[in-house]
Amino acid sequence: MKSLDFDALSSLHAHLSHLTGLSISVYGENGNRILLPVNENKLLSVVRATTTGREEYNEFMKKNLENTIRKNDVSISKGPADQHYFFIPLRIENTILIITGGCIYLSVQDFENFYRKKGPSYGLLPYQIKSWYPEICIRDYADIQDNARHICSLFSLILSSGHKDRIAEKRHRLMKIIISLISEIRFDQQADDVYDILLDIILFLFNADSISIMIRDNDTFSTQKTAGRLRDQLQSIPLTVSGIISEVVEKQRPVCSESVMDILRLGYPDAVTSIYAFPIISENKVTGLLNIFNSEVHREDADIIFGICKITGFIVRLTELLDMRNKYLKEIDVLNTATERITPVKEPDMLYEAILDTSVHLAGAEKGSLMIADDDLCLTVKAAKGIHKMLQSEIKIKAGEGISGRVFREGMPLIVEDIEKHEWGSSVKRSKYRTGSFISIPLKLGEKTIGVLNISDKITGAVFSEQDMVLLRSFASFASIALDRSSYYSLAGHLKELSITDSLTGVFNRRYFEERFFEEIQRSKRHSLSFSLAMIDIDDFKLFNDTEGHLAGDEILKHIANIAKDSLRIIDVIARFGGEEFAVIMPQTDKDEAFMVTERIRKSIVEYLPRTWNIFPNDAITISIGIASFPSDGNDRKSLIRNADKALYTAKIKGKDRTVVWANQQAKPF
């Protein structure tokens, strides 16, 4: 919707409403009405004022709006009060609109028939019929079609033209922003600062997925900067002047490739599916690369980016010659890079490691630990450097105990020059540390302390400074937010898994099956595909429960679910349908192939299910299976499940332990 000019849309809507005299509305693809009719039809207003009329109208509009989007074609339908309406779909880039209009009768006779037969149910009095003649709109069917076509053409022409104008305007603004950003670069800035501006331009103005900037040293390019979704994976991958990089260097022009072999030869991971390499040129030599990954770059944009790279090469060369650096700005840049590294990490264990690694790196230290408080306010080590992983789980510190416990309890950071001389460090053995300098920072969310970050042993052997403290505290604030976000992410993932799986068997539950089944029907209808549904029932399961007990029955259900899941293909979906019954959706699978898949399940259960029962009289646990296929055995949920159940019933009465398919109105075993 953002790409539409609503002023132009409203103006066009008003003009066409007055010109045609029709009641015209504009809807979004979700069924939300964007523009109300300028001249609401009075008869329709009376009809909609009744409960029945309002419900009929809403259902009519909902159904026709959905059909219009699905068919993507102009349609005419008769609605409440027997009036005719047209529905026109419009697509402007990624935006879908539906233009509706009408409240039209094809003849006076049509109006009179409606009024006399149905009018009283809407509160229309018979003796008032003549007073309605001036209010009704009468046109023949061909006129309605012509009006719909003309309205469709006008809306398409004007909205498309407006969209192109906005694209051109956007391109103009883009160039102004780029020129403004570049013009603000000072020649006394360091190369890192220039590269950061380049990253921001590409990442935010060109919607790049991932980016890396590389610096050339002889025949090797090493990564200088990364940004975007894959920034961590791109950080340590060097490139040599070979393959497509040779072409970039020799011809001094950008090269794009989506070839799997090209990308693998460069050493990038599977997550990289495309690369667009731009040369950064200085003094007629390629001194660096700007690589854009997994992003669609239009030719016009590529020309702009190449120009930006040329300017970048020129500015970087000047900054290198001046060789001036502002240490404070460098530290802020390092902090930004550090927070960017942990931003995409959501899994708690990975986030613990990322936070600690980043903190140790920021402080220039060798050792450290990240401790998180549990519900009992007891600190446990979640990540550590300098402590063996086997020992981490054994370290537990109560609030107020030792240095970490006191920092946690008081919520105030601590920095010491010599841990042995500090009043809190009398119990700490100096032999554990190479130096005596130590930083301990509380991780806080508002007034609540959730953990402690400890850093020790500066690589240089020096003591930690207040500047180190400021840098680490800034990072700790962001890390605390990331930890809080991660806890919600983990909880959401766990709740999602619980909501779609059966708690006993671990396969999908009935609710998920219904959603997936509906999606598969819609997908198969849309793309003219077939799929099969299998209903599985455990033979004599009630007898088994009666003789062996329900706990033993639960174990059988778990075993059968696991065996069936292992016997299915990756595209198949198995769910517990209820009790001892399972359902399997097999996408793009005809009856012959479905029979082979389910027979594999049936035979595997007989072969691999462990015999753990004592009283149950059968030698083996068996299953019966019924199969129905879309669309030959039904094109909706009810008929497919019914026919699969009928086939299952046939399998039962024919002796059980078999698979039966539904065909030609009757179940047939293969």
pLDDT at 13: 78
pLDDT at 164: 58
pLDDT at 371: 84
- Phi and psi at residue 119, in whole multiples of 5°? -55, -45
pLDDT at 325: 44
pLDDT at 629: 94
CB 416 within 8 A of CB 422: yes
CB 112 within 8 A of CB 128: no
**Can you say whether residue 145 is alpha, beta or left, with left for phi > 0 and alpha for psi between -120 and 50 degrees?**
alpha
> Strand runs (DSSP E) across 337-460, as ranges?
365-373, 378-385, 396-398, 414-416, 438-445, 448-458
pLDDT at 456: 85
Continuous H helices in 343-414: 348-363, 389-392, 402-410
d(CA 359, CA 370): 10
- Let me know if the fold of 191-324 is the same as that of 334-491: yes
d(CA 343, CA 228): 10
* Domain residue spans of the chain: 6-165, 191-324, 334-491, 510-669
Name residues whose C-beta falls within 8 Å of residue 275's C-beta, 6 or more positions apart in sequence.
244, 256, 257, 262, 263, 266, 268, 291, 292, 293
pLDDT at 247: 92
CATH architecture of 6-165: 2-Layer Sandwich (3.30)
d(CA 355, CA 438): 18
The hierarchical CATH code for the domain 334-491 is 3.30.450.40
Query: Cα 591 to chain center, whole Å?
Result: 34
* Beta-bridge partners for 96: 91
Closest CA to 57 of 85, 36, 30, 37: 85
CB 624 within 8 A of CB 645: no
CB 103 within 8 A of CB 15: no
Structure tokens at 281: 């040129």
CB 313 within 8 A of CB 449: no
What is the rounded radius of gyration, in angstroms, for the C-alpha atoms of the chain? 35
Summarised one tens digit per residue, pLDDT across range 429-473 is: 545 667 778 888 888 877 788 888 888 888 888 888 887 888 788
Residue 551 CB neighbour total at 10 angstroms: 8
Question: Which of 152-189 are b and which e, b meaning 16 or more Cβ less than 10 Å from the residue's Cβ?
Answer: beebbeebeebbeeeeeeeeeeeeeebeeebeebeeeb
Structure tokens at 312: 């970048």
DSSP state for residue 81 in the 8-state scheme = G
pLDDT at 258: 92
Residue 30 CB neighbour total at 10 angstroms: 8
Continuous H helices in 430-549: 466-500, 510-527, 541-548
Q: Is 455 helix (H, G, I), strand (E, B) or coil?
A: strand
Largest CA distance in the chain: 106
Q: How far is CA 193 from CA 136, 186, 226, 229, 358, in A?
A: 70, 10, 13, 21, 20
- Phi and psi at residue 140, in whole multiples of 5°? -80, 170
**Can you say whether residue 364 is alpha, beta or left, with left for phi > 0 and alpha for psi between -120 and 50 degrees?**
left
CATH architecture of 191-324: 2-Layer Sandwich (3.30)
pLDDT at 602: 93
Name residues whose C-beta falls within 8 Å of residue 576's C-beta, 6 or more positions apart in sequence.
502, 504, 505, 507, 508, 509, 510, 557, 561, 582
Could you give the count of Cα atoms lying within 13 Å of 446 in the half-sphere of its Cβ? 2
pLDDT at 491: 46
Closest CA to 85 of 66, 101, 62: 101
Identify the helix (H) or strand (E) that includes residue 89.
Answer: strand 84-92
pLDDT at 503: 83
Continuous H helices in 550-615: 550-567, 591-608
Closest CA to 465 of 422, 473, 405, 338: 473
CB 313 within 8 A of CB 288: yes
Question: Which of 211-250 are b and which e, b meaning 16 or more Cβ less than 10 Å from the residue's Cβ?
Answer: bbbbbbeeeebebebbbbebbebbeebebebebbbebbbe
Block means of pLDDT (10 residues each) for the chain, 670 residues, are: 64 78 84 83 87 89 88 87 88 80 88 88 86 87 83 76 61 68 65 83 86 91 92 90 91 92 91 94 90 88 86 80 54 64 72 81 83 80 72 71 83 79 56 74 82 85 82 78 65 55 88 90 92 94 91 91 90 91 94 93 91 88 94 91 94 93 62
| Cα 591-600-553 angle, rounded to 5 deg | 115
The hierarchical CATH code for the domain 510-669 is 3.30.70.270
pLDDT at 338: 62
d(CA 430, CA 165): 71
Q: What is the DSSP track for 649-670?
A: HHHHHTTSSSEEEEETTEEEE-
- Residues 232-241: contacts with CB under 8 Å, at least 24 apart: 232/341, 232/344, 233/269, 233/271, 233/272, 234/210, 234/268, 234/272, 234/291, 234/293, 237/266, 237/267, 237/268, 238/214, 238/267, 239/214, 239/266, 239/267, 239/289
